Amino acid sequence: MTRNMIIGVTNFLVYVTLQVLVFQNLVVFDVGFVFVYIIFLLLLPMELSFSGIMLLGFATGTIVDVFYNTLGIHASACVLLAFVRPYWTRLVTPRSGYEVGVLPTLNSFGLGWFITYALPLIFIHHSTVFIIEAGGINFLSMSLLKGLASSILSLVFIVAIQYLFFKNQR
């Protein structure tokens, strides 16, 4: 548990910093944005309570918002992500089931499971951000295109990061 907590705090500091300093400036073809900081929310322990995840999501989103100058938008998307995550994890339980104390990382349950777990959540988060940014459903197709492109891009980065840094942690 303590180990997970240390991992969580490190994740938070590293990825939020990376997000606001590096990935904020990365835009691919005007539609691909990278919001890599949500890896922190995705990799939170399974045992964490509903409200705990949501409060953490709110805090993370607000901090990112401060740097993006979009106060409330990322916070709202992160809270939504945190609200959906427990339901989604219940639906996509791997065959072996979850073990207590094991983080839902790529190494724990495999690449296939991780993509099924992460992609829909990332997509929900990203489309929420873009829809709120567009001020409603006026530019829905553009928002969803951005959401999809950015989700795939973010997923690539999130998987790559885990291959790079989480390899030997188990």
Partner 1 sequence: MRKLFQFLYRYRAFFIFLVLQAICAWMIVANNNYQRTVYLNTTSRIAGSVIEKADNVSDFFSLRKVNEDLAEENARLRQLLLNSNVSIPDSTSFITIPSDSLDSMEYIAHSAEVIRNTIRNTNNFITLNKGSKDGLMAGMGVVNKDGVVGKIRSVSSRRAQVISLLNTNNPISSKLLRTNRLGTIQWDGSDPRTAKLLYVPVDVDIQVGDTVVTSSFNAIFPKNMMIGVVKSAKPDIHQRDYEIEVKLSVDFGALSYVSAIENRLKPETDSLSVQNPGETND
Interacting residue with partner 1 among 48, 132, 145, 159 (CB under 8 A):
132
Q: How many chain residues are in contact with partner 1, going by CB under 8 A?
A: 21
**Cβ atoms 133, 70 nearer than 8 A:** yes
* Separation between Cα atoms, residue 111 and residue 105, nearest integer Å: 9
What is the footprint of partner 1 within residues 24-83 (CB under 8 A)? Answer: 50-51, 54-55, 58, 61-62, 65, 70-73, 75-76, 79-80, 83
Give the position of tokens 């790079």.
Answer: 164
Which amino acid type is present at position 1?
M
* Separation between Cα atoms, residue 25 and residue 27, nearest integer Å: 6
Retrieve residue 55's tokens. 């409060």
Binding flag, residue 155, partner 1 (CB under 8 A)? no
Q: Which is nearer to partner 1, 81 or 158 (CB)?
A: 81
Give the position of tokens 């089931």.
Answer: 97
| Residues at the site binding partner 1, with contacts judged by CB under 8 A | 50-51, 54-55, 58, 61-62, 65, 70-73, 75-76, 79-80, 83, 86, 132, 135-136
